[in-house]
Chains A and B, each alone.
Chain A
């Protein structure tokens, strides 16, 4: 599990750091730096720990990380002498952020060649050409995605340690996270989740309905394309409620159509991760079945369409008992520019009445649970993957800057102070 440490490499890395600091001092920039800790033992001491569990906040706590997993959390944890120690007095530690809907662009399987239009007998015909991939064509992210071409650094410095990669349209997602040595992206492709974009028109609704329908044993398999077997198994996961179907609802009307599907008797186990704009969520909030829907929202104040009044949709949803997951990447401008204080938008929502604990859970535990991975990450507790963020202050404040990102026990990002 732990890669070999090359002393020279580390020395070089250290030199690089100092060089980086010099550069930073001169140009006020931030450098990336990856560190792999010796023996896989790391302790973070003296921090205020936002566990995102029912235990809430632990003041002056210690987190002990062994082999990339959280071994112990608490106020009286004995730190072995061999452990590397990060002194985090006065700082705040929270679980790594899980982005539940990270849209990536994948090259389309066929770009299509232009058809010709022929007018004959006063009627027009479309001849030749192959149609380009449409919204309802199937994309398997794990196959089509090119990690080397993904600009993932904004994600890392935002504190995202797990991103749920999807694309527009219909397909199977995968999970990605930053890893060190060499610094890169790791993909977790074992349990793909099904995502589908739905609008209030028959074509996209058919994709959803066909997926939810139990396949008849005889006819369906032969006519489908090669991806049919894996497609049907992931839809089986959806039907049994093991994994949610990730539905990107194009408008408020589409949300109601999805709710209609959920109401059907045969779909009673189906859970939905609903990607929806805040305004559309607001219109449909009271019609959503709270126990089966996880709303994925961009963290921001929304404008109510009819009155132009600013509203806090995340709070309204929480008041109705609907779990909310925040997707930090959904506001691209914020996402790319909010270096160091990535949670400012969330802080604003908390200031406007959103419960603080549920805000933190919306960034970590809720999306992890939505992805069916709450046993692996999303909280700071024993046995979880060691994905933690260190802020020099309250993460939900304008002054709480992100200083270090630890993913799987390794430091993948460090800001220069």
Chain B
């Protein structure tokens, strides 16, 4: 808990500030001074040496007992998100959880007190759709691959993100999902290999021009003239695409594209492959309780369930899974009755079974109204829970969304041109947040880019997440709804609302001490507490400019 502060103090002790400056400015002078000074260094007496050792061990003991101490944040306005605001309240944190909270809470003796007078306290923000944060490489065993010293975590904490759903496998950034529909040739059999699920095999689209992939030409089985998105595609397509049609397939031996003008064999039904993700806390410097859960959704790339073939395969998978569950139930009944019975072979992954059993929702990107309707219809037909990502045209289908109780993720600043001739009934609309709120569709907010880049495109990457939420208010949502879109709504989507997303007694102590309104561009995170431990301090970490 005290780690960061103590580090800095000790380092100040070992190198005086003025000295450090001299070193940088005038190296030669410094070395000369070292040489000179060394000649005057005399051997300290043995007694002194032993004494200092004793002091060190005593100090250490004190520190250990420090860690068991209670943390108290006092005097701030507590924005609980679920239970209104407590003015000048006190939060007592014990063992990483909120132990007590309110106006007249007794401060335990010996507690470390953080004075937050005049500050605003909110729960830590939750970021969905994050790539590369707190995890090293593309891991197979997530809990062994955490990197609590990822420097980007400090930047995430600097804007208030304390929990992130990090992609661990699957395709790249959002909106690039069109090409990855294909996968195993046999629907039922190969999906049983659970260990395949988290490995990202790049064997799909060899030799396909990249612009063709981005346009959604591959694997979509689109036909010019029938697709509502065609005006947009035509706008971006090359003349060659329009003249000759799309690259349908790639020759497996030579990698040359086969044009659809040739009579080709029907593609075999292929099951869509989900992408993996992990929910991690931004508990910088601490491994303990950093990992929250794996695969909160059954996540499929955009377009994975489009077209008759893909849908048929999807229905088939459900049938296989339900048959298995039935057999499994029979098997368990037989075992209970004392009969000898062989358990049925599991034909699908545990992840898929969880989807079928309603334990986790399907999450899929569906920007257009037609895609949203399509996905809702399929979910109702096969009876599974649904959460939609990047729903730019959600304002057109609010009734359907609220009736099917589907949660969505939106990016207020994401834009989509309306279709030609459908200017009033397609494309993005600034008031999407308002209509979603009015119709009671729960929505979370994500930023335009899923990573922390700081590469010069300010305001697009993950560090603009609270500002993106401010744009929800610009689009007509209430401030309360906008803060919920950062906290409790994504927590519910991830199924971790019992731990994070609001300030309540018993929940994880993921608390932000803010200089003002969380939706104000002038607001900075002063201190971020994750799992009851100070993980970020603005003045110490200095990852964002200190101007005031």
A binds B: yes
Interface residues of A (CB under 8 A from B): 54-57, 119-124, 199-202, 205, 251-253, 256-257, 259-260, 280, 282-287, 290, 301, 304-307, 309-312, 315-316, 318-321, 347-348, 350-353, 355-358, 394, 396-399
Interface size class of B (residues with CB under 8 A): 35 or more
CB–CB B144/A200 < 8 A: yes
CB distance from A244 to the nearest CB of B (A): 20
A120 to B206, CA, bound (A): 12
Q: Are B41 and A55 in contact (CB under 8 A)?
A: no
- Point out the residues of chain A lying under 8 angstroms from B7, CB to CB: 282-283, 285-286, 304
CA distance A316 to B14 in the complex (A): 8
Q: Which residues of A contact B49 (CB under 8 A)?
A: 56, 355-358
* Interface-central residue, A122, A251, A260, A396, by most chain B CB under 10 Å: A122
* With A355-B44, A357-B44, A397-B39 as contacts: A307 and B8 at CB distance below 8 Å: yes
A340 → chain B closest CB, angstroms:
15
* Minimal beta-carbon separation of A310 from chain B (angstroms): 5
CB distance from A92 to the nearest CB of B (A): 10
Interface string of B19-52 (1 = CB under 8 A from A): 0100100000000001101110101111001101
B147 contacts A251, C-beta separation under 8 Å: yes
Within the complex, what minimum Cβ distance (angstroms) separates B143 from chain A?
A: 9
**B14 and A312 contact, CB distance less than 8 A:** yes
Which of B248-256, B427-435, B451-459 binds A? B248-256
How many contacts between A and B, using CB within 8 angstroms? Answer: 156
CB-CB under 8 A from A316, the residues of chain B are 10-11, 14
Q: Which of B23, B59, B253 contacts A319 (CB 8 A)?
A: B59
Q: A54: shortest Cβ distance to chain B, in Å?
A: 7
Q: Which residues of B contact A355 (CB under 8 A)?
A: 44, 49, 52
B residues 387-417 near A (Cβ < 8 Å) are: none
21 A/B residue pairs, CB under 8 Å, sorted by A: A54-B50, A56-B43, A122-B252, A200-B136, A202-B145, A251-B136, A252-B149, A253-B136, A259-B287, A280-B149, A301-B15, A309-B11, A310-B15, A319-B56, A351-B37, A353-B14, A355-B52, A356-B49, A358-B49, A396-B38, A398-B34
- Nearest-Cβ distance from residue B5 to partner chain A, whole angstroms: 11
Chain B hits for A119, CB < 8 A:
203, 206, 252-253, 255
Apart from A56-B45, A201-B136, A253-B147, list 16 A-B contacts with CB within 8 A: A55-B46, A122-B252, A123-B252, A199-B136, A200-B146, A202-B144, A282-B7, A283-B149, A286-B2, A286-B63, A287-B285, A305-B151, A318-B56, A320-B60, A353-B13, A398-B38
Q: Is the CB of A304 within 8 A of B14?
A: no
Taking Cβ atoms with an 8 Å cutoff, the residues of B that contact A are 2-3, 6-8, 10-15, 20, 23, 34-35, 37-39, 41, 43-46, 49-50, 52-53, 56-57, 59-60, 63, 136-137, 139-141, 144-149, 151, 154, 185, 201, 203-204, 206, 250, 252-253, 255, 285-287, 541-542
A54 to B59, CA, bound (A): 22
Q: Tell me how far the C-beta of B532 lies from the nearest C-beta in chain A, rounded to whole angstroms.
A: 16
* Residue in A201, A284, A304, A351 whose CB lies within 8 Å of B145: A201
Main secondary structure of the interface of A (DSSP, over half): mixed
Contacts of B60 in A (CB 8 A): 290, 320-321
A90 to chain B, nearest CB (A): 15
In the bound assembly, the distance between CA atoms of A348 and B56 in angstroms comes to 22
Contact, CB under 8 Å: B43 / A310: no
Check A356–B43 contact: CB distance below 8 A: yes
| Residue ID in chain A nearest B14 by CB atoms | A312
| Bound CA span A352–B43, Å | 14
Query: Given A122-B203, A201-B137, A311-B11, is A286 in contact with B39 using a C-beta cutoff of 8 Å?
Result: no
Cβ contacts under 8 Å, B45 to chain A: 56
Do the beta carbons of A399 and B52 come within 8 Å of each other? no
Residue numbers in A under 8 Å from B149 (CB-CB): 251-253, 280, 283
